[in-house]
Amino acid sequence: MADSETSDADFGYRRVKAEEKARLVRRVFDSVADRYDLMNDLMSGGVHRLWRAALIDRLRPRPGQTLLDVAGGTGDIARRFLARAGQATVIVCDVNEAMLRRGRDRAIDAGRLDGIAWICGDAESLPIPSASVDAYTIAFGLRNVTHIDRALAEARRVLKPGGRYFCLELSPVEMPLLRPLYDLYSFGVLPRLGHVVTGDGDAYRYLVESIRRFPPKAALAEMMSAAGLERVGFTTLSGGIAALHSGWRL
């Protein structure tokens, strides 16, 4: 984990200069963008779809709302939100242009031309006006930012009073009996699978390591509170493999 007071950041298990991490992360997602969704299905056996559905269920989309989906390049959350809300707006913001292109292409192929704006931007410095969105979501993206505290502060800034924040993220498994199997799968299988499917096993080795370096659930909840979000809480999913964090701007 990195914060605003350090000049270094975690890139998986490596320590790198803070200013270098964003470039390294962009390189990872440039490499895997075309097969990102396929790999999510293969890695999780499709369970990630249930986690995203749980996020949408908690969000309860309504007509007229504006959602900002950060790190949402392939557009999965955006499509689910619009399917539930009907006449609403989603701003998909991602720092990686390759992921955004993938998301735009998928939306066009599905005939979804209205209701989605695609913006290339950094979670730590969002190109979004203050108090302008009803909800903020980030799925499997917060662990890739350099300064989590800055990203959380930006999330609160852009939310309207009464707006909701949701972060869906993978986390280290807490169940003792499950942990050895999860580690074996994560470090032994996923990089090999990533190499076969995307040609870049190192990208998935980083993604596995980044989960281990992400703050524990209670620590992230404290960071959310420190950023000014209120009524902060989290729900564990699939035995703690993932967690859904939530908070309000009041």
Which of these, 216, 229, 244, lies nearest to 53 by C-alpha position?
244
pLDDT in tens, 160-208: 999 999 999 998 777 777 788 888 888 999 889 998 999 999 989 998 9
CATH number of the domain encompassing residue 223: 3.40.50.150
In this predicted structure, the answer to whether residue 243 has a pLDDT above a threshold of 50 is yes
Whole-model pTM?
Answer: 0.91
Does residue 222 lie within any of the structural domains?
Answer: yes
Report in angstroms the alpha-carbon separations of 127 from 94, 120, 157, 195: 11, 9, 11, 35
Does residue 196 lie within any of the structural domains?
Answer: yes
Does residue 8 lie within any of the structural domains?
Answer: no
Does residue 18 lie within any of the structural domains?
Answer: no
Does residue 86 lie within any of the structural domains?
Answer: yes
Count: domains in the chain: 1
Rounded to the nearest integer, the mean pLDDT of the chain is 92
What separation, in Å, do the N-terminal and C-terminal C-alpha atoms of the chain show? 27
pLDDT of residue 6: 52
Does residue 103 lie within any of the structural domains?
Answer: yes
Give kind and range of the element (H or E) at residue 164. Answer: strand 159-170
SS3 category, 207: helix
Does residue 181 lie within any of the structural domains?
Answer: yes
Range of the domain at 205: 27-249
In this predicted structure, the answer to whether residue 235 has a pLDDT above a threshold of 80 is yes
Share of the chain above pLDDT 90, in %: 69
Which of these, 126, 133, 137, lies nearest to 163 by C-alpha position?
133
**What's the pLDDT band for 90 if we cut at 50, 70, 90?**
very high
Q: What's the rounded Cα separation, in Å, for the pair 53 and 48?
A: 9
**What's the pLDDT band for 214 if we cut at 50, 70, 90?**
very high
